[in-house]
Structure 1
Amino acid sequence: MDFGNADTWGAAIYFWIIPAVLGDAIFPPIPSEMVLITGGALSAEGRANLFLVGSLSAAASWLGDVIVFQLFKRRLSHVLDHWAWGRKVHRGIHEAIAKAGRSSTYGAIIGARFIPGGRLATSAAAGIADVSTPGFSLCAGLGGVLWATWLVGLGYFTGSATRLPFWASSLIGLGVGLVIGALVGVIATRRRGSRSPVDEPDGPAEPLP
């Protein structure tokens, strides 16, 4: 694959979106934001369909959130505690939940995805809190649409405004997105608690090594 060829990326971007956004729901370091911004930049060059890129992004976001939500709603997350690496992941998730803040559950489901790690944290917290499935699905869908619109739109706007090669527009868009996300994160940390706002119904977890 020629990574500098817009035609090649235009044909492949649709196949990158779903696995990247789904994976990001469970493992936030996956650069799904970069994929969506790139899709927007390619759309600005006419190499991809803007509506299709946005629709796939929103749908994959919703599906990933629902998967994480159901894992925690059905208490399947404790399976992780059987392994050392799983306990670290489980502990990391609860740390992420603690950082998600104490805002209303539905508001957090929609808005916290704009903060790094917030998407995983709020989906897991909602599952632990036994939020209703229809309510979560609706908020996750709305949040997914807003999140996809923001990132794909950022790539499209950057590509249209700069008229640089798509990869350069993508990097600029990513930089802008990271700065704005960091600012939002700093503001949000002023309202965060020091522990998970939602406790497991079976009581506190055993100390982890």
Structure 2
Amino acid sequence: MDLANADTWGATIYFWIIPIVLGDAIFPPVPSEMLVITGGALSAEGRANVLLVGLLAAFASWIGDVVVFQLFKRRLSHVLDRWRWGRKFHSGIHAAIAKAGRSTTYGAIIGVRFIPGGRLATSAAAGIADVTTRAFSFCAALGGILWATWLVGLGYFTGSATKLPFWASSLIGVAVGLVIGALVGMIVTRRRGSRSPVDEPADEARPDAAP
């Protein structure tokens, strides 16, 4: 299978989007961004439908976020601790939360997904903090749409502008996306507001908290 040949992909790109984007919600190293950008680049060559690529990516992003959110909201994450790989994964989630910073607003649920590991970190943190399912689902859906639109558009634009083979356009798009995504993520995570809807209610647990 020649992955550098656009004819090899054909409709295959549609079948890969959902499992890869879903997998990225749980295991960030899965290259979902690369795949979605590639879908956009293929669309620029007329090899894929840009709207369908975007819809599939947004839907899979939303489903993956909701699964992680519910896992932690229902306190089912302890199931992971039964296995060695699960303990490492569980530890990695908390490390991702610490690295991404405490989500300060509902906007962070939308925006932090643009940095590596951001989807996993904010979905898990929101579940731990008991953010309402309705609010999280709405933010995750909006974030998924923006995320998919940005990546598909990036692939489509680089493919149309450079006229390079789709794989070269994809690599350029990934490089640009990583830089801009990191900047957006830094801005989002550094914003500090009043009471965070994603922060854990630590005040109630503090013995010196005011009554």
How many angstroms does 1:99 deviate by?
A: 2.5
Match of 2:200 among 182, 188, 198: 198
Deviation at 1:90, TM superposition (A): 1.3
Runs (4 or more) in structure 1 with deviation over 6 Å come to: none
Q: Secondary structure at the match of 1:28?
A: coil
Output one character per residue of 1:4-42: Cα deviation in whole Å (capped at 9) or x when no partner. Answer: 221221321101100110000000000000000000000
Instruction: Say if 1:102 and 1:191, in contact at 8 Å, map to a contact too.
Output: no
1:96-175 equivalence runs, <5 A: 96-175=96-175
1:90-130, CA deviations, whole angstroms, 9 ceiling, x for partnerless residues? 12111211223234341111111001111001001111111
Q: Which moved more, 1:61-70 or 1:91-100?
A: 91-100
Give the gaps of 5 or more residues in structure 2.
193-197, 206-211
Find the counterpart in structure 2 of residue 35 from structure 1: 35
Distance 1:142 1:13 in 2: 23
Contact 1:59/1:144, CA 8 A, preserved across alignment: yes
* Residues 129 and 189 of structure 1, relative CA distance in 2, 3 Å threshold: closer
Q: After TM superposition, give the deviation of residue 191 of structure 1 in Å.
A: 6.0
- Matched to 1:5, the amino acid is N
Distance in 2 (CA, whole Å) between partners of 1:87 and 1:111 is 28
Deviation, structure 1 residue 189: 6.4
The 1:197–1:138 alpha-carbon spacing in structure 2 relative to 1, beyond 3 Å, is: closer
**Matched residues in 2 for 1:10 and 1:41: separation?**
12
Partner AA of 1:127 in structure 2: G
Whole-angstrom CA distance in 2 between matches of 1:160 and 1:116: 26
Q: Percent identity?
A: 81
CA distance change for structure 1 residues 31 and 63 in 2, over 3 Å: closer, same or farther? same
1:207 aligns with none
The alpha carbon displacement at 1:184 in A equals: 3.6
Give yes or no for contact 1:77–1:90 (8 Å, CA) kept in 2: yes
- Given that 2:104 and 2:191 are in contact with CA atoms closer than 8 Å, whether structure 1 keeps it comes out as no
Give the TM-score normalised by the residue count of structure 2: 0.86
AA partner of residue 124 (structure 1): A
Cα distance in 2 for partners of 1:169, 1:84 equals 40
Change (3 A) 1:105 1:72: farther
44-53 or 92-101: which moved more? Answer: 92-101
Deviates more, 1:103-112 or 1:114-123: 103-112
Q: For 1:146-199, what per-residue CA distance to the aligned partner results, in whole angstroms no more than 9, with x for missing partners?
A: 00000000000000000111111111111111222333455566569xxx9538
Determine the C-alpha separation between the residues in 2 that align with 1:114 and 1:52: 21
Partner of 2:82: 82
Identify the residue that residue 177 of structure 1 maps to in structure 2. Answer: 177
Structure 1 residue runs of 5 or longer lacking an equivalent are: 204-209
Separation in 1, partners of 2:133, 2:105: 13
Q: Could you tell me which residue of structure 2 aligns to residue 7 of structure 1? A: 7
